Amino acid sequence: MRTDYTEVKPEVKLRQVYQKVSGLICARLPLCTSPWIWSHVSTEGRESSWDSQFLVETHCPALNQMRVVLGLRRLKRVFSIGSGTRTHSLTAASMRLVQFCPRGSEGSMRVGVERENGVVDLKAFDRSMPSTMREFLELGEKGMECAQRAISSAERVLPLSQIQLLSPVTGPDKVVCVGMNYRDHCLEQNAPIPTEPIIFSKFPSSITGPYDDIHLPDESQEQDAFAHIAGFTVANDVSARDWQLKKNGKQWLLGKTFDTFCPLGPALVTTDALKDVHNLGVRCLVNGDVVQDSNTNQLIFKTEKLVAWVSQFVTLYPGDIFLTGTPPGVGVFRKPPVYLKKGDVVECQIEEIGSIRNTVF
C-alpha cells in the first residue's frame, strides 16, 4: 500500500503547531494539545505501516501521570514563518506572572502578578480569577486585563517573604524541548548544524519550582510493580515513519505524537480478570488481512519489569500508560514495505481484552 497524503497536507499541520507555540510565547497565553497494537502513517512520501503494542495503566498514587502546557484556545494571530511578521489581538503589556502558594499553606495554589517588592494575589483581587496559571491563561484577554488592573490598584499585595514561588505553570499537557538549537553548542561537540528543529520531550512530572530541590528518584521493586497495574487495554499506536526515521535527528518523538495517533479501548480490563497477561494472543488486521499475529509470551521485558524500571527515573501516577512493544509483521520492514493509505481499516485485537477498529482518514 502506497500512501498519498496530499489531502492531509501534514506540512500545513506542522505550521499550525509553530503558530501555537509562537502564540504562547508572544501573547503569554496557554496553547491549546499502551496497550498492545500499533499501526503507522507517514507523511513524506507519504508512507504508513503498522505495529502492535501492549498497554498498561497504573492506579497507584505513587506511580506517574503527565500533562504540559501549551494550552490555549486558538489565538487570533497570524504568523508568517521566517518573515518575523505576526499580528495578534492580545493586549501587549509588560508583566511578570507567577504561580505561588502562601507560606504555611502548601497546596493552596494561586496566580499572581509581581508588583515592586511583592506579588498581587489575583484571586484575592478578583474572585472570578482561577487558582492555577493554566486556567488563567485559558481566559485569554480577560485574564490579562485583570492582571493589569491588579497592578494598577496596588491592592492585595503580598510581600515575597510570605509566599513560596512555584513553577510558573504546572500540569501542562506537553513539555516540548528543542535540541541542538545553539550554534556554539553544536560546534563544541563537532555536531552538524541542524537544518530543521530537533524536538524531544520531558514528562510534565519533571517540572519543579524555581528554588525547589532536585531529587534523585526512589526505586520501586519489581516484585511490587504488578500490584500497581490497574489493567490492560488495546491501542493502535500509529507512527509517521518518515518523521521517525528520516527527520528530527532520527528521534522517534514526532513520528509517534501526531494528533489521533493512539486510539485506545474498548475497555480497561482489570488484572484479576485475565488468566495470564503474558500469554495472550495479539493480532493486527488491515482491511481484513492479518498482518501481525503473535503472543504476549514473546515479550522480552514483562510488564512488572517495565513498571519497576521506569519508576527509577519518573514518578508514575494513576492513569499513566505503558506501550509494551510490537510483534513482527510491521509494514515498514516488509519487502517491499507496505504502508497505510486513506480509507484503510486497521483492527487491533488482544485475546480476552477485545478489539479496536479505526479507519485512516
Burial grade of 309 (CB within 10 A; 0-12, 13-18, 19 or more)? middle
Average pLDDT, the chain: 77
Per-residue pLDDT, averaged over 180-185, amounts to 90
Instruction: Return phi, psi of residue 242, to 5°.
Output: -65, -40
State pLDDT tens for residues 288-327: 999 999 999 999 999 999 999 998 888 899 999 999 988 8
Specify the DSSP class assigned to residue 328.
S
Q: Positive or negative, the Cα torsion across 152, 158, 159, 160?
A: negative
In whole angstroms, give the CA distance from residue 176 to residue 66. Answer: 13
Is 203 in contact with 64 (CB distance < 8 Å)? yes
**Residues paired with 350 in a beta bridge:** 282, 354
Q: Per-residue confidence at 51, pLDDT binned at 50, 70, 90?
A: very low
Nearest to 169 by CA among 27, 95, 69: 69
Q: Per-residue confidence at 122, pLDDT binned at 50, 70, 90?
A: very high
For residue 266, whether the previous peptide bond is cis, meaning omega lies within 30 degrees of 0, is: yes
How large is the C-alpha radius of gyration of the chain?
23
CATH architecture of 34-66+217-359: Alpha-Beta Complex (3.90)
CA geometry: angle 309, 209, 144, nearest 5 deg = 125
Per-residue pLDDT, averaged over 12-39, amounts to 31
Q: What is the pLDDT of residue 161?
A: 94
The residues spanned by each domain of the chain are 34-66+217-359, 97-165
Strands in the chain per DSSP E: 36-39, 50-58, 77-80, 85-88, 97-102, 110-115, 118-121, 157-159, 163-165, 176-179, 198-201, 229-235, 264-270, 281-286, 289-295, 321-323, 345-350, 354-359
Q: Per-residue confidence at 219, pLDDT binned at 50, 70, 90?
A: low
Q: Per-residue confidence at 89, pLDDT binned at 50, 70, 90?
A: very low
